[in-house]
Amino acid sequence: MSTPASYGETAFTNGYEFTQGAGYCLPEYPFTEPPELKSGEVRRHKVVIVGAGITGLTMACCLARLGVEAVLLDEDNTVGVKGAASRGICYTQKSLEIFHRLGVYERIAAKGIQWSVGRTFAGKDEVYSFDLRKQSNFDRSIQPPFINIQQFYIEGYLVERIYGLGHVDLRWKSRVVGFEQHKDFATLTVETPAGQYKLEAEHVIDASGSHTPFHAWCGATMTSRRGDDRWCIADVRFKNLPPTERHTWIEAPFNGNRAVWQHLMADDVWRIDYQMEPHADPEYVSREEVVRERLRQQFGPDVECEIVWVGPYAYRSQCLDKLRIGSVFFMGDTAKIVSPFGARGGNTGVSDADNLAWKLAAVLKGRAPASLLESYNEERHEAAAQNVQVTNRTARFLRPAEGMERLFRKAAISLARQYHFARQLINTGRMAVANSYTHSSICDRTGGQSVQNVAFRWADGSKGGVNDLLAWADGGLLVLLFGDMPSTACQRLKQLATHAPVHCVQVVGPDNRAGALEHVLDPHGHLQGACHVFGHAWALIRPDGYLAATGESVDTGLIQAVQRSLGIKQ
């Protein structure tokens, strides 16, 4: 059950959104006959996750780490889509910080490729370039701005981690074929190689992807948009490697003046995306000789490469109106679907899972009322809607309508060659960020932002990071108190910690003195900067690394913020 990837015979096929191929050989996991099939008993579970993609597995791993029992159902017995695309390739700092908390980051970092330089071209000329390492907001975290890696590697690492942690019952070859909502739970009918059975779930997590049956079962309403933009992916291994940079062409002379993406991945595999003519024949554009001709056009007539996988795709955008219906929570591609520009698909799913997992754990452990779960929809629907909007804008830039839209793009590109300001109009994808929550009922207006995993020093001088503090808080809330510690504040915090799931730490800056509370050292003010506070202040941080609120003095305002962040109505 380790996670190797070998490369099989290339398959050139013509699926519309997914191809079947044999390019990647994926690990397989064993089907075990579930106890319900033997006993005939219908068991009620607190949490059932449907779909072992990156979102469902992140959810399962988050719950396992918090010690919450769950069942994970997946219709397949592998990660990835068998023999098919490498799918997602680009993982953001926020996702990497989450994977670090889950204990799989080191493997991802060892296998994946870090990059920070991106270049955008139009015609033969570079329009602009950027270096993420030089952008100040990225360099504070212990994790890099991005790592590129084939999605199935991360999924494989998560599976192995979940097996190691326990608590989650991984059920492979288990397809959900029926659903019934009752007052406080749902009944699922599951089809397996050994027969059908039913199970009950108080919370159903639908992470089954864009073809989910749960939308119809739950009567979900949504906004969808489907365009005529067509692309063809080629995953390629070169004999002579291109530079370790992300290159994007808005108008590539070697692709009929249409767009091209050139991205790197693990195993020296490169993802080249070619924009096709609208309504291009997917079968034709993914034929080996056609793909090889495109590669020769791009890299020269003597290019030597092995084609690992080829697949045409079209995309749609879709956003559910509500991410929770009855017992069912929608996350990942069941919550929203975006075009691939800016890596806002999988990364959003990872954050969806991280958002719901701690809330579910707090409710199931009796630390918070069930109403806390309503904030999942508030927060992640805002993120979904924003990611749909951002990616739709990119799609519109890359496939402008004929007439005025194309004219404005031409104007923007010509200005970008001349003037710095106009580069901002060139939209080849706005890279995913940790979405902020601006109208969450559990965040104060001072909160809602993600706190980066910045470094500090423990009291003994050794190095620590925000994730270590979150691990110490163990699914509870974290209060950081910046500056000196009056004894009244210390007493209040100690009392607070006995009444609520809160861990309190003093953060001692260069001009402060350690008080009676546990403390860490922040000599360069990085931790303070990451919490967006100045001087003497407190910051209330949630288990998902988001700020719930910040304030100045330790008073009833902090108590109220703690209650509010747990969904306790005031």
Partner 1 sequence: MKTTLHFQDADTFYEQLLDAHTGLDREQSELLNARLILLLANQIGDARVLGECVAAARTLPPG
Query: Given the rule CB under 8 A, which residues bind partner 1?
Result: 407-408, 410-412, 414-415, 419, 421-422, 425
Residue whose CB is less far from partner 1, 408 or 472: 408
CB of 63 to partner 1, least distance (A): 41
Non-local CB neighbours of 193 within 8 Å, separated by 6+ positions: 31, 173
CB contact at 8 A, 234 and 303 = no
CB of 404 to partner 1, least distance (A): 8
Among 345, 115, 330, 326, residue whose Cα is nearest residue 207 = 330
- For 505, the token pair is 């730490």
CB contact at 8 A, 549 and 447 = yes
Residue whose CB is less far from partner 1, 365 or 417: 417
Q: Are strands 519-521 and 502-508 parallel, antiparallel or unpaired?
A: parallel
Phi, psi of 193 (to 5 degrees): -60, -20
CB of 322 to partner 1, least distance (A): 28
> What CA–CA distance (Å, rounded) separates 542 from 443?
10
Q: Which strands, in side-by-side order, build the sheet including 519-521?
A: 463-465, 455-458, 519-521, 502-508, 477-482, 537-541, 547-551
CB of 423 to partner 1, least distance (A): 11
Output the DSSP codes for 110-176.
Answer: HHSEE--EEEEEETTEEEEEEEGGGSTTTTTBSS-SEEE--HHHHHHHHHHHHHHH-SEEEE-S-EE
Give me the residues paired with residue 18 across strands.
Answer: none
Matching residue, tokens 């951002």:
390
Residue whose CB is less far from partner 1, 103 or 400: 400
Matching residue, tokens 């919450």:
68
Residue 355: strand, helix, or coil = helix
CB of 421 to partner 1, least distance (A): 5
Residue whose CB is less far from partner 1, 284 or 408: 408
CB of 411 to partner 1, least distance (A): 4
CB of 427 to partner 1, least distance (A): 13
Residue whose CB is less far from partner 1, 177 or 411: 411
Q: What are the angstrom distances between the C-alpha of 127 and each of 140, 213, 243, 247, 248?
A: 28, 44, 18, 11, 10
Residue whose CB is less far from partner 1, 376 or 397: 397
Handedness of CA 81, 82, 88, 93 (dihedral sign): positive
Exposed / middle / buried, residue 474 (Cβ in 10 Å: 0-12, 13-18, 19+)? middle
- For 252, the token pair is 């590539």
> What CA–CA distance (Å, rounded) separates 247 from 130?
11
CB of 395 to partner 1, least distance (A): 20
CB contact at 8 A, 71 and 34 = no
Residue whose CB is less far from partner 1, 67 or 400: 400
CB of 547 to partner 1, least distance (A): 25
Non-local CB neighbours of 325 within 8 Å, separated by 6+ positions: 218, 219, 220
Residue whose CB is less far from partner 1, 240 or 414: 414
Residue whose CB is less far from partner 1, 415 or 514: 415
| Orientation of helix 346-364 relative to helix 374-398, angle to 10° | 180
Phi, psi of 506 (to 5 degrees): -85, 135
Residue 478: strand, helix, or coil = strand
CB of 425 to partner 1, least distance (A): 7
The type of residue at 279 is H
CA dihedral 470, 472, 478, 483 (to 10 degrees): -100
> What CA–CA distance (Å, rounded) separates 542 from 456?
18
CB of 570 to partner 1, least distance (A): 33
CB of 359 to partner 1, least distance (A): 34
Residue whose CB is less far from partner 1, 417 or 524: 417
Residue whose CB is less far from partner 1, 11 or 415: 415
Residue 334 CA to its chain's centroid (Å): 13
Residue whose CB is less far from partner 1, 117 or 425: 425
Residue whose CB is less far from partner 1, 16 or 408: 408
- Report the length, in residues, of the chain: 570
CB of 406 to partner 1, least distance (A): 10
CB of 422 to partner 1, least distance (A): 6
CB of 131 to partner 1, least distance (A): 24
DSSP state of 452: P
Residue whose CB is less far from partner 1, 428 or 528: 428
Residue 271: strand, helix, or coil = strand
Residue whose CB is less far from partner 1, 85 or 412: 412
Exposed e or buried b for every residue in 17-50, given b needs 16+ CB within 10 A? ebbebebbebbebeeeebebeeeeeeeebbbbbb
